[in-house]
Structure 1
Amino acid sequence: MHVLVAEDDGSVAAALVSALTRAGHACTRVARGSDVLLRHRDAQVVLLDLGLEDMDGLDVLRQLREVSSLPVIVVTARGDERSTVRALSLGADDYLVKPVRLHELLARLLAVTRRYSPPDEPLRVRVGSVEIDIDAHRVHAADREVALTPNEFGILYALARRAGQAVSRRQILDEVWGDAYVASSRSFDVHLGQVRQKLPEVTITTIRGLGYRLEDAA
């Protein structure tokens, strides 16, 4: 599996990466929380230190959980009960205190990832008369084909595969642009407006303070 190792101490990071690599895992090491938020979509699990170069790991975890359910194991020197409880309440899947026994880490890693089984992505999504073909990257509404740019298609798919549910702005930015915290909100608004204009067959409702919900306009 691909492990994102977020650790600001070079020697600790090297030991973790070496052990994971010997166990057959691919690793990417970062030292900044902003890089976790930028690169998490390439990983299958995150090992998260709480003392990173640019921000507290708990803040990273909180922001990550706003857009992703990716498994996270906290690996930190903070052994106090308050930090443990807060990390777990923010959505960490496990919590290990340094120095970590590598065999235990590998066992916890496998246990966490076994519990996480993302659903298969559908090849086609239909909302009313609108059908989205994921592989072909094509959209049909009734008897016409609708031309969408890649970003417009991404926004539509992010909403359509959760039709009837509220989807946060950050989730969409993370899925389409790959970064919910840097991507231009103005660019998002323009693309969303284009989707609404091109597909009157669906209704995209703005939920103030939360995000958007897509439904069949009929």
Structure 2
Amino acid sequence: MTDSLRILIVDDEIEIRRFLRATLSAHGNTIFEANCGQDAIEMVVNRRPDLLILDLGLPDLDGVEVTRRLREWSQIPIIILSVRNQEQDKVQALDAGADDYLTKPFGVGELMARIRVVMRRVVTPEGTSTYSVGGLQIDLARHRVNLAGQDITLTPTEFDLLKTLAQNSGKVMTHRQLITQVWGTAYEDEDRLLRVNIANLRRKLESNPSKPEYILTELGVGYRLRSLE
């Protein structure tokens, strides 16, 4: 990463905090630490970090609850770093507003890549109307999609779905988040509707829909549009 970040690490295991502090400070970042949820919320208020790395199993507030409370007033990027690897845990954290979810044990390279992706979304100017990844170009203002120089025709629903993924490029969007944003809350349980439209998009955008390059599946959780590294 080229720019120094102010990173708040929230974990009740001192060994994890020590490892993350050493790893992230070696990249020029300023590190703050908290070992419980309430302290984390207070430090977000008082220290104004750029990024929060948050464990779920805290001694007072669960990490999901910390995320919900922060999302009531803050858009600070939140990466969950947890030993919990069940789909339900991931879905709950992402639905609560977390930006990404990484399971322990993790590789340093993967963590740094996830941080780059999350922070790149933060510095992208609001109102950005064009997204490009590989040979895929999405013009939100003109409702146009171009793949390898060829215009692609999408239905309005397909375009809205692709638009939502593009606006959250690199971020896992849960099934519920996508359905609510594209179809509305009345369709929250219509997973089949989402799967059908994702399949249609992949047929139009992927050279091999069974091995997608652009619209990636987070098994049991949701989908994300690949982000440039």
**TM-score between the two structures when normalised by the length of structure 1:** 0.53
C-alpha distance after superposition, 1:101-127 (max 9, x if no partner): 11110111111011013879xxxxxxx
Q: Which residue of 2 aligns with 1:8?
A: 12
Match of 1:30 among 24, 31, 34: 34
> How far apart in 1 are the matches of 2:66 and 2:23?
24
> How far apart in 1 are the matches of 2:60 and 2:118?
27
> How far apart in 1 are the matches of 2:124 and 2:65?
24
Q: CA deviation at 1:52?
A: 1.2
Match of 1:64 among 50, 70, 76: 70
Q: Which residue of 2 aligns with 1:170?
A: none
> How far apart in 1 are the matches of 2:35 and 2:125?
30
Q: Which residue of 1 aligns with 2:80?
A: 74
How many aligned residue pairs are there?
A: 120
C-alpha distance after superposition, 1:9-31 (max 9, x if no partner): 00011001110011111100100
Q: CA deviation at 1:86?
A: 0.8
C-alpha distance after superposition, 1:63-106 (max 9, x if no partner): 01111010000000000000001111111100000011111101
Q: CA deviation at 1:36?
A: 1.3
Q: Which residue of 1 aligns with 2:208?
A: none
> How far apart in 2 are the matches of 1:62 and 1:15?
27
Q: Which residue of 2 aligns with 1:44?
A: 50
> How far apart in 1 are the matches of 2:124 and 2:32?
21
Indicate the structure (1 or 2) with the bigger Cα radius of gyration: 1
SS in 2 for 1:27: strand
Residue 83 (str. 1) matches residue 95 (str. 2): no
C-alpha distance after superposition, 1:2-60 (max 9, x if no partner): 00000100001100111001111110010010111111142000000001121111110
Q: Which one-letter code corresponds to 1:54 in the other structure?
A: D
> How far apart in 1 are the matches of 2:12 and 2:87?
22
What percent identity do the matched residue pairs reach? 37
SS in 2 for 1:24: coil
- Structure 2 residues not aligned, in runs of 5+: 127-229
> How far apart in 2 are the matches of 1:51 and 1:93?
18
Match of 1:97 among 93, 100, 103: 103
Q: Which one-letter code corresponds to 2:7 in the other structure?
A: V
> How far apart in 2 are the matches of 1:101 and 1:114?
20
Q: Which residue of 2 aligns with 1:21?
A: 25
Q: Which residue of 2 aligns with 1:187?
A: none
**TM-score between the two structures when normalised by the length of structure 2:** 0.50
Q: Which residue of 1 aligns with 2:112?
A: 106
